[in-house]
Amino acid sequence: MKKIMVTGALGQIGSELTGKLRDLYGANNVLATDVREPADGQDGPFRQLDVTDGERMQEIARSFGADTLIHMAALLSATAEQKPLLAWNLNMGGLVNALETARDLGLQFFTPSSIGAFGPTTPKRDTPQDTLMRPTTMYGVNKVSGELLCDYYYSKFGVDTRGVRFPGLISYVTPPGGGTTDYAVDIYYKALEEGRYTSFIAEGTYMDMMYMPDALQAIVDLMEADPGKLKHRNSFNVTAMSFEPSQVAEAIQKHIPGFKMDYAVDPVRQAIADSWPDSIDATAAKEEWGFEAKYDLDSMTAEMLEKLKVKLG
Ligand code: AKB
């Protein structure tokens, strides 16, 4: 049975991923770690960890007997743009510590990259797996550097590193914080709470998105994939849909006919979004490890509204 340690386990992806991994591999075989203490009870082991403390990370992984490290702790794009030095130190410092831990202890390794790794000179539509990557954001610089570093640890030290380039992830469980794609989560909350939403991303701005259950399944599938079949490792393009704000609004209006949307564009997040692709091509992930997304905009919207209605009471 696997012994998996997760960093950033209280974050947007980490909190749901930890639950899924515990269901799959057993609660006591998945160690959640985060810089924050959990607000509510955990249904498995938890240790407090600041990922910039490499010694402690290694000590925790060793004493747990981990064979896999899933490194999720990072600042997202908009926060990284506000605090670039902090982002460099946390995103890159944490990643190096995690890779060193994986190297020293012989762990299988996963960390997510992002569509943020692409830049304004990248082909905008059907962005290929292997293409020009000159991001203009600190987050993007972190993500490209991270992909290269993970490749380096694989080729130089033989660490089994794997990763995907996630698009915006949408979930009703844990809200995101500090991302450019966050509007596509906020809109569902506001649709139910207020019947209207003011988008900080302009009409006509396409970005790739994915519903969280598909993202979690992608991590599990990639980690279980036959390494002999992987031509790429860090990181695979994955996506489920590409849309712009008015299309989410229309999808919501099918359930809430009076829903209204207007725009108050945030120049910082808009500039980030404008530097990212409109849509990426996930052929390599499909061919090499069978990536498949089950949800599209309509099926995701129906489920988001149904689940959030219950959550918000
Ligand atoms: C963000 O908006 O920063 C993230 C991402 C696409 O990596 N959701």
Question: What is the residue with the minimal CA distance to atom 4 of ligand 1?
Answer: 179
Q: Ligand 1: distance of its center to the CA of 118 in Å?
A: 12
170-229 pLDDT, tens per residue? 999 988 889 999 999 999 999 999 999 999 999 999 999 999 999 999 999 999 999 999
Ligand 1 nearest-atom number relative to CA 169: 8
Write phi, then psi, for 296 (nearest 5 degrees): -110, -175
91-132 pLDDT, tens per residue? 999 999 999 999 999 999 999 999 999 999 999 999 999 999
- Spell out a b/e string for 189-222, using b for 16 or more CB atoms within 10 Å of the CB, else e: bbbbeeeebebbbbeebbbbbbbbbbbbebbebb
**Which structure tokens are listed for 154?**
């694989």
Distance, in Å, from the CA atom of 18 to the CA atom of 123, rounded to the nearest integer, reads: 35
145-171 pLDDT, tens per residue? 999 999 999 999 999 999 999 999 999
- Amino acid in the structure at residue 80: A
Q: Ligand 1: distance of its center to the CA of 65 in Å?
A: 32
Q: Ligand 1: distance of its center to the CA of 63 in Å?
A: 33
Whether the per-residue pLDDT at 41 is higher than 80: the answer is no
Ligand 1 nearest-atom number relative to CA 143: 7
Q: Which residues line ligand 1 (CB under 6 A)?
A: 76-77, 114-116, 139, 166-168, 179-181
| Catalytic residue positions, numbered | 139
Question: What is the residue with the minimal CA distance to atom 7 of ligand 1?
Answer: 114
For a mutational test of ligand 1's pocket, the pick from 81, 91, 169, i.e. the residue with the most ligand atoms closer than 8 A to its C-beta, is 169
Element (H, E) at 74: none
Q: Ligand 1: distance of its center to the CA of 221 in Å?
A: 21
Domains and CATH numbers, the chain: 4-168+210-237 (3.40.50.720), 169-208+240-312 (3.90.25.10)
Write phi, then psi, for 23 (nearest 5 degrees): -65, -40
